[in-house]
Amino acid sequence: MLLSYHRLKELYKTANRLREDVIEMLTEAGSGHSAGPLGMAEVFAAMYFFILNHRPKEPSWPQRDRLILSNGHICPILYATLARAGYFPLKELKTLRKLGSRLQGHPHRKSLSGVETTSGPLGSGLSQAIGVALAARLDGARYHTYVIMSDGEHQEGNVWEAVMFAGKNRLSNLTAIIDRNNIQIDGYTEDVMPLEPLRDKYQAFGWNVIDVNGHDIEEFVAAVLEAKAVYEKPTVIIAHTIPGKGVSFMEQKYQWHGIPPTKEQAKEALRQLRRLGGKIKSEHD
């Protein structure tokens, strides 16, 4: 799975377009989460436009890879990605959080094509993903299961029960991706309830651990390929990201965890994002 310069540039361009979609959606809705969705744009672009084996026009295809979103509050980036990938019309993005919309404030599995599980209560996604991965093993299926998690939800005890179970059962067909952005709604994770040493904790429970820059698509893709080459244990990719990435007044500020921009703030955010355009990481630095 080679990633050419042209393909890489297209993925960065897609990630930036997803960020614009998120800003427009949140502004129209007047509610929702800003920081997390913006910080995960490169990861979602890489997953849906390069890594995942999936068919948007056949969302229930049995051989598809499964991606489960545990931290459901960052669903604006999931919705934008699904729409851009062709699961539903782009115009529907403007219905986010509106009465009767399929794009609820947290994903609902039966409401929207491409959504594998209903999510909302933090700490549940890894257990759901383990169930899917274990079922694949029992059925002899070859699809891979991915789960995207927040760092803050690792303050939930049931996450660590799931971590132990996956390690004990050597679920090598499971890859967890942690959005390590260091924020949660009340502040910075290491102030609210310290998570470090996160890497050592996963390793102690029998996981393969890879740290990456979550905004470096080449590095992230390489990590996913490494995870699929490990046959004796599950892998967790700790993706270090900047919350609010791409919008200067949001970056690294936990206050933007759970609020949308005003119309004036959205104009400035979109101006900054459109100035970035499709530049690749080395051009951003």
Per-residue pLDDT of the chain (285 residues; tens, 9 = 90+): 578 999 999 999 999 999 999 999 999 999 999 999 999 999 999 999 999 999 999 999 999 999 999 999 999 999 999 999 999 999 999 999 999 999 999 999 999 999 999 998 899 999 999 999 999 999 999 999 999 999 999 999 999 999 999 999 999 999 999 999 999 999 999 999 999 999 999 999 999 999 999 999 999 999 999 999 999 999 999 999 999 999 999 999 999 999 999 999 999 999 999 998 766 554 444
Integer Cα distance of 96 and 225 in angstroms: 33
69 beta partners: 148
pTM (2 d.p.): 0.96
Q: Locate the DSSP E strands across the chain.
A: 66-69, 145-150, 174-180, 183-184, 187-188, 208-213, 235-240
Contacts of 69 (CB under 8 A, 6+ apart): 75, 78, 107, 115, 116, 117, 119, 125, 147, 148
Domain positions in the chain? 5-284
CATH number corresponding to 5-284: 3.40.50.970
Give yes or no for a contact between 143 and 66, defined as CB atoms under 8 angstroms apart: yes
